[in-house]
Homo-oligomer: A and B are copies of this chain.
Amino acid sequence: MSHDVLDGFVSAQRYAEVQHFYAYQMGLLDDGDVAAWAATFTDDAVFEDATSEPLLGRVAIQTSVQARVDQLKAEGRQFRHWFGMVNVTERPDGGLDTSLYALAMSTPAGGALTVHGHVVCRDHLVPQAGGWLVRRRHVAPDGI
């Protein structure tokens, strides 16, 4: 099996774009700009996690996440989403399948950092004007 360990690796350009996209995307959310964050999803995007009903469409995603962000803001808590360990596979249709590790952490005003947990995120990305949008995100928290 070792001869094909690296089959299917994408170009450096694609790999850097995906890393950069995630830094950009999750920075928008952590900065509290939920509208701009939601704009990185397609109109018909689906957001799935292990503990609640799937969110169907960009509007539903934005509404749900805005509520969480408002709550964090009211608590004075700075949340951070750290993505890493990115795998990227090209799809025949021009899209990308990605999987990555993510750490969720936050710091209250004047307080200490808490690392809340680790999740595996799987995205289907579609090309859009030279960049990428999320068409489907599946988030699987460890331990659940």
Contact = CB atoms under 8 A, between A and B. Distances in A.
Nearest to A129: B3
Contact of A131 (B6, B80, B129): B6
Interface residues of A, number: 63
A34 to B, nearest CB: 12
Interface string A85-115: 1111000000000011101011111111101
A7 B87 contact: no
A113 B80 contact: no
B80 A82 contact: no
Given A87-B20, A107-B143, A118-B113, A133 B15 contact: no
Given A5-B128, A101-B80, A131-B5, A86 B19 contact: yes
Contacts of A51: none
A143 B87 contact: no
A17 B9 contact: yes
A42 to B, nearest CB: 8
Contacts of A142: 78, 80, 106-107, 113
22 contacts: A1-B36, A2-B39, A5-B21, A6-B128, A6-B129, A6-B132, A9-B21, A11-B13, A15-B16, A19-B19, A22-B85, A23-B84, A23-B86, A26-B85, A78-B142, A78-B143, A80-B101, A80-B118, A107-B143, A111-B143, A113-B142, A113-B143
